C-alpha cells in the first residue's frame, strides 16, 4: 500500500510501532440492539452513530447483519448490503491524511 501511495516502505510500520504512536489493534463487537430501544427523539436506534475511523484502516465483517452505510461525496448515505463471506475495508482518517 505504501508503494502505491509513493511513500517509504516502512511508513505504516513506524506509525504503529513507534513509541509515541497512538495506533493499536482493536477488536470491537457491536451486538444487536434490543427491539423497542428508542432515542430521545423517539426513533429506533440502529447501531453505531455517524463517525469516521481515526485509524489507518478498519476491517469490518457484517456477519450477515445490515446497517453499514457510507457517506458519499455529495453528502448522501448509501447502504452497504451485508455479505457473510466478505470483509469491508475502510480507509481511516490517518491514511486519508497521508
Q: What is the pLDDT of residues 25-74, one digit of tens each?
A: 777 776 666 555 555 555 555 567 788 888 888 888 877 777 788 889 99
Per-residue pLDDT at 13 exceeds 60: yes
**How many Cβ atoms sit within 10 Å of the Cβ of residue 15?**
16
Q: What is the H or E stretch that residue 14 is in?
A: helix 11-17
- Give the Cα-Cα-Cα angle 64, 69, 75 (nearest 5 degrees): 170
pTM of the model: 0.61
Count of residues making up the chain: 98
Distance of alpha carbon 7 from alpha carbon 11, whole angstroms: 7
Per-residue pLDDT at 81 exceeds 80: yes
Q: Which pLDDT score, from 0 to 100, does residue 46 have?
A: 53
Amino acid at each position: 500500500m505504501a508503494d502505491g501511495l509513493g511513500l517509504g516502505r516502512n511508513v505504516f510500520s513506524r506509525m504503529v510501532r513507534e513509541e509515541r504512536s497512538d495506533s493499536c489493534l482493536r477488536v470491537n463487537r457491536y451486538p444487536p440492539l434490543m427491539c423497542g430501544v428508542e432515542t430521545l427523539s423517539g426513533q429506533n436506534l440502529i447501531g453505531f452513530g455517524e463517525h469516521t475511523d481515526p485509524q489507518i484502516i478498519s476491517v469490518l465483517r457484517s456477519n450477515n447483519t445490515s446497517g453499514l452505510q457510507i457517506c458519499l461525496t455529495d453528502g448522501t448515505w448509501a447502504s452497504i448490503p451485508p455479505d457473510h463471506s466478505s470483509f469491508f475495508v475502510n480507509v481511516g482518517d490517518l491514511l486519508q491524511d497521508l
